[in-house]
Structures are given as structure tokens and as C-alpha cells.
A and B are shown apart, each in its own frame.
Chain A
Amino acid sequence: MRVLSKKNIMILAGLILTFAIVYALRNFGILTSFHEITIAMVCINIILGVSLNLITGFTGQLSLGHAGFMAIGAYVCALINMELNSTFGFILGVLAGAIIAALVGVLIGIPTLRLKGDYLAIATLGMAEIIRVIFLNLEITNGAAGLNGIPRYTNWFWLFFFTVTTVVLISNFINSSHGRACISIREDEIAAESMGINTTQYKVIAFAIGAFFAGIAGALYSSYFYFLRPEIFGFLKSIDILIIVVLGGLGSITGSVIAGILIAVLTAALQSFAALRMIIYALLLIIIMLFRPQGIMGTKEITDLLNFSKRE
């Protein structure tokens, strides 16, 4: 069985250890609620970063609207969970949120993904803005006041579970023939088409998968923080996610994981200096682009660096 390769066993061991350590620290009361929020944000950031990286880093389609999909997942999950206040309701909410986000992704992707580069960026930005305005005006989402008293089911177990699942599934995808089809679009769209890749279809697929996981991140978010407001999912949230992807490296899952952690910690540390935090983010973006456009990892993965076994 190739699933039980040496590499996978080591990864599994690492994961169990991580889970156990955080679990123990929590139960011994060493983690404050501030730490816990940071850990939750680490997980949510990783899911968001990795899913946007699939769209922007691997498939090469700059999206400035990832927060829109997150919003859909958040609202759908919260509404279901408020009706159905149980773990089952929570899981149902997460899945429904993710699926609806993916459907919206397909719906929006089909017309907009024909656009190139900058135009696509603006179209996705516009789409997220439209989603936000809709939530702002719907009765069921309670408009600008938002939803309050959402039951909390997001805990360390679920955060960990969904983060690991996201990373594993998206890495599997990237390393499959379908994933390579997506990557070929980033490399050279015309050549990809001429080699038999239906580029529009694969862009939409990447977009939908990315939206699906962003929906999960949104659902976890809503079930962790008790409340939702449309303005949480504005343009700046999309930029936050983009920063994770760019800092980690467009086209590196490992990079998005590292950057997801860094940004969560940085955000927590600068919590009470909102403007300063944004100035630092802005400078970070500019400096990375000017001096290290490949980000922390470039397109490398941790498995390339450790070289457990020669890459297939």
C-alpha cells in the first residue's frame, strides 16, 4: 500500500503529535483564550490560504474575492446551525456552506473566468462585493446588524480535522493529472489548450474547489466567534487571504501553511493597532513583490526540501 509510505507515516506522526500537544496544553489550562483564538485563526487562515492558492498560485487566476465564498459558508452554516442546534447541525452546516459556496463559484466562474489577469481580478472583487451587499440586504441574514448568538461547535478537534483534510485533499489534487491540468493554465494557457486541456473547464473546477474550502473556513469562523456581520467579509478580508498566499509563495501549499500561521500570529500581536497592522501588511506586500516575489517558499514544498523519497 502506497498510502503507508515512509513519508506518509512521518507526516501522520507529526500531525498526531501536534494535535496531542495543543490538546494537552488546552486541558491543563495553559492556553489562554487569547491563545485559543489565535490557534483558531491559524487553522482558518491555512484553509483560506491553501484554497486561494489553488486558484491564484496553481491555476494562475488572480482572485480578489475569496472572502465572498467565505461569507457564503459562514452565513449558510450559521443559519442551519441556529435552526439545528447540535453537532449534526454543525456538520450539516459546514458541508452545506461549502457546497453552496462551490455552486456559487461555478455560477460566477463560468462567465468571469474567460477574462484574463487584471480583468478577472476586478470581476472577482466585484462579485464578492455583490455577495456582501446581498447579505447586507437579506432579511434572513439580518442585514447590517448581522447574526448574533450563533452556537459554538468549532473546537480544536474540528479545526484540526478540517485543516488537515483541506491540506491533504488539495495537495492530492495538485499532484494528480487534473491538478497538473490546472497548473498548465498558469504556465501557458495557449499551450495548455493546444495540448488538449479544456482550460475554461479547469479554471472553473479550480475556482469551485477553492470556493468549497473557503466555505468551510467561513463556517468554522461563524461557529467559533458567535456573530457574523457582512462587513467582516469585505475587500480587506480578501486581501488578507491574498497576503497569506503571496507571502507563502504562489504555488506552494507549505508556504500557505507557514504564512497562515505567521499572519495569524502577527494579527494577534498587533490586535490593538489596527492602522499600524495594515501599514505593515501593505509594506509586506510591496516588499515581497519587489524583493522576493516568490514569497517564502516559491513553488517548493516541504516534501521537496526534506526529500523523504525521490519525487516520482
Chain B
Amino acid sequence: MDQFLQQMVNGLSLGSIYALIALGYTMVYGIIKLINFAHGDIYMIGAYIGFAATTYVHLGFFPALILSMIVCAILGMIIERVAYKPLRNSSRITVLITAIGVSLLLEYSMMFFVGAEVRSYPKVLTNHLFHFGGVRVNMQQIYILVTAVALMILLQYIVTKTKTGKAMRAVSIDKDAAQLMGIRVDKTISITFAIGSAFAGAAGVLVGIYYNSIDPLMGMMPGLKAFVAAVFGGIGSIPGAMIGGLAIGIMETLVAGYGNSMYRDAAVFAFLILILILKPSGLLGKNEREKV
């Protein structure tokens, strides 16, 4: 039992990181129907910024987190402007391939400039361990959970309560109609990318302090898994992405803990294929059918 609870705690920490990344996927998909392949790499960049900020500038956890979120938000907007916006009216396959290109570009530019080697994060948090019965929870895990929950509440507030959030929802339902109603569609899309990327940046810093090591290709797998999470929750749905992220994180730790950790990634993808076949709209997604 204790071991199971321990796995759950570990799964929840990993899952909240996936959830933060999944939110960006879901928001971008909801608004321009693009699987932003580069999203996982923004998370990687976020991790490096956090690394630089803590190692070279000796910033603390929160300043590093905020800095990373800001830089990633700007990066996200630039990518959208340069690579995706000109393709607004192109076929989806074209935009998807572009996104794969952007993803590779970020990964290998990073590798080119900082080298392929794995770097370890400095200790920004104390090593304090909390014991709840037989279950151990460390400081990192608490920071991750608290930060993730705080950010999600903030996002829920932005989307449901602010004007920007309303614009985002309007654009995601019908871009043309939103335009006619005087909503600035381009600006709204830009903001969506900024928010999604900022969250990915935050996830990058969190994962850096959690696993203690970062490398230029670290975004690929978690990016894809976060995508699986977004699909599981129902792509386009914000609560769905949160639930999906947590579920994937827990599933992965359980497979690694009780099964064969080599099959961890395969399990996530097998799960994805299952969802896509059984319920492609995900837990909270809407079924859409083309009008003929």
C-alpha cells in the first residue's frame, strides 16, 4: 500500500508537469487546430533558461521560473508569427510539417550552441523530506504541485473571467465570426501561444529541479506524452488537459514501478492508440463531424 501511495505521489508530480505542457497543446490546438510539435522544445528551452538563471546569475527558484516563462512566451509568439501565421490558410499537413521543422530547429540549434551533453541543475531547493506514514514527499515535489496548481487556477481564471479569455474561446469556436464581431484574431492567437509557451517554460524549470538533468532533446518525449495527455483529456479542453496530464504521469510511474520501465514509453503510446480508437474525442472533448 505504501509503495502504491509512493508511486501515486511520484506520478502526481510528473503528471503535473505533463499537465502544464498539455495545456499549451490543448490551447493551441483549440484555437488553430495545430499540433504544435515544437511545444515540447519550448519546454526544453524553458529548462535551459532556468538553468542559466540559477547557475550563472544565481537567481532563486521563483525569479528563475518567472524569467523562463517570460522568455518562452516571447519565443512562442515569435515562432507563431514567423512560421505558422503565413500558413493560416494552408492545408493542415503543411502546418504540421512546419511545426516538426521548428521543433527540429530548436533542438539542434540548442545542441549546436550549448552542446549535446547532459547538464545538471544546481540545488535551488533544500533537500528536505517530509514523511506521511511510509510515504516520502520531497521539497521539489511540493514546489511542483503548488506551482502547477497555482498556474492552472490562474489559467482557468484568465480563460473564463477575462476579456482575453472570452476572445480566445470565441476564436476557437469560429474564427471568421469572431473577426466579424470585432475580435482581433491575430492578437488573440498570439496571446494563446504566449500563455501556452509560458506554461511550457514553467514546466521546463520544474522538471529541471525535479530530475536534476537537462539536455537539448529532453523535450521530445515529454512533449509527445503531453500531447497524449491532451488527447486523452479531450483536445481543446483545458480541464481535460489537466486530468489527462495527471493520468499519464500516474500511468507512467505505475508501469515503471510495477512493470518494466523499458516499456514505459511504449505503454503511453499504446494507450494513445487505444483512446484514439475507442474515444477519439477524449474524456471531455466534443465530437465534431464535417458538414457536407
A residues lining the B interface (CB < 8 Å): 56, 60, 62, 64, 111-112, 114-115, 117-119, 121-123, 125-127, 129-130, 133-134, 136-137, 190, 235, 239, 242, 246, 250, 275-276, 278-279, 281-286, 289-290, 293
Contact = CB atoms under 8 A, between A and B. Distances in A.
Nearest to B92: A117
B157 interface: no
A140 B280 CA distance: 36
Interface stretch (B12-20, B196-204, B241-249, B265-273): B265-273
Contact of A190 (B86, B87, B272, B292): B292
Given A112-B276, A126-B272, A283-B101, A278 B227 contact: no
Contacts of B109: 279
Given A127-B273, A289-B98, A290-B86, A122 B265 contact: no
Given A290-B98, A293-B90, A118 B269 contact: no
Contact of B101 (A121, A235, A286): A286
Nearest to A190: B292
A87 B268 CA distance: 41
Contact of B273 (A117, A126, A190): A126
Contact of A123 (B91, B95, B107, B273): B273
Given A123-B272, A239-B104, A133 B93 contact: no
A117 B93 contact: yes
A284 B97 CA distance: 11
Nearest to B262: A137
Most buried by A among B35, B100, B102, B272: B100
Given A112-B277, A133-B265, 16 more contacts: A56-B93, A62-B96, A111-B273, A114-B277, A123-B272, A126-B269, A130-B266, A137-B260, A235-B220, A275-B112, A278-B104, A278-B107, A282-B103, A289-B87, A289-B94, A293-B90
Contacts of A112: 273, 276-277
Contacts of B280: 115, 119
A276 B116 CA distance: 12
A136 B262 contact: yes
Contacts of B263: 133, 137
Contact of B224 (A125, A133, A290): A125
B290 interface: yes
A223 to B, nearest CB: 27
Contacts of A64: 100
A133 B105 contact: no
Nearest to A194: B292
A111 B108 contact: no
A19 B226 CA distance: 49
A114 B268 CA distance: 20
A36 to B, nearest CB: 28
Contacts of A122: 35, 224, 227-228, 231, 272
B83 interface: yes
Contacts, number: 119
Contact of B269 (A56, A130, A250, A275): A130
Interface residues of B, number: 47
Nearest to B220: A235
A121 B96 contact: yes
B111 interface: yes
A242 B97 CA distance: 9
Contacts of B108: 275-276, 278-279, 282
B267 to A, nearest CB: 9
B223 to A, nearest CB: 11
B265 to A, nearest CB: 6
Nearest to B105: A282
A286 B112 contact: no
Interface in B64-108: 83, 86-87, 90-98, 100-105, 107-108
Contacts of A284: 101
14 contacts: A112-B276, A112-B277, A115-B276, A117-B93, A122-B35, A123-B273, A130-B270, A279-B104, A279-B105, A282-B105, A285-B97, A285-B104, A286-B83, A290-B87
Interface string B101-132: 11111011101100010000000000000000
Contacts of B95: 289
A123 B86 CA distance: 27
The 10 closest A-B pairs by CB, nearest first: A126-B269, A285-B101, A282-B104, A282-B105, A278-B108, A286-B101, A133-B266, A289-B98, A275-B112, A275-B111
A118 B102 contact: no
A60 B227 CA distance: 22
A250 B101 CA distance: 16
Contacts of B260: 137
B273 A282 contact: no
A290 B83 contact: yes
Contact of A121 (B33, B35, B83, B91): B35
A130 B274 CA distance: 13
A240 B160 CA distance: 42
A290 to B, nearest CB: 6
Contacts of B277: 111-112, 114
A170 to B, nearest CB: 20
A256 to B, nearest CB: 15
B137 to A, nearest CB: 31
Nearest to A64: B100
A206 to B, nearest CB: 15
A244 to B, nearest CB: 12
A39 B103 CA distance: 30
